[in-house]
Amino acid sequence: MEVKKGKIEGLFTIEPKVFKDKRGYFYESFNQRLFEQHIGKVHWVQDNEAGSIKRVFRGFHYQVPPHAQAKLVRVTQGEVLDIAIDIRPGSPTYGQSESVILSASNQLQFFIPAGFAHGYLVLSDYAVFNYKCDNYYAPGHEGGILFSDPSFEIDWPFKPTSFLVSEKDQNLPILGSHRKFELIN
């Protein structure tokens, strides 16, 4: 596997070594030993999967300490624009985002440590999004940031007004109103 550091400290893109032949392909989607060598020790406790249609945006979500989550995300069908926003208090890159195209065809994975808000936009007609978490979902400890926050410098492939977004996500605050991790009410 090839691991590349992101432009923001703590983010990594992982490209697995894929073995292809006339039958199809094979690759290790996760190897704890190699992950620890390149990124560090993370104890995964939960795997999640979501299926979504084109233009669905899910996010920007996070959980507050002590329930903050690191995530390892990938797409097994279709294609998404995956985005992480640094919300670590005191970080020199606070409020900055990094995005990666994840797809079933490129088989990339994106590691997002705790302290980042996370979201993704479905680019294909349908996508299946998979992710590992190092902490359990804690409903009373979740927060979020409005996807259309004007302070974000995200090169959206579609106009945000055309996104399919949950009512909950449409009513999240903008980043400027966050002075620290805040909970969704």
Residues assigned a catalytic role: 61, 131
Backbone torsions φ then ψ of 37, nearest 5 degrees: -65, -40
H helices, E strands: number in the chain: 2, 13
The rounded distance, in Å, linking the Cα atoms of 12 and 6 is 5
Cα 93 to the center of its chain, rounded Å: 17
27 CB-near residues (< 8 Å, 6+ apart): 16, 17, 18, 19, 107
Compute the distance between CA of residue 103 and CA of residue 14 in angstroms, rounded to an integer.
13
Helix, coil or strand: residue 168: helix
Query: What are the start-end ranges of the E strands in 64-155?
Result: 71-77, 79-86, 97-103, 109-112, 116-122, 126-133, 142-144
Taken in order 17, 128, 45, 82, the sign of the CA dihedral is positive
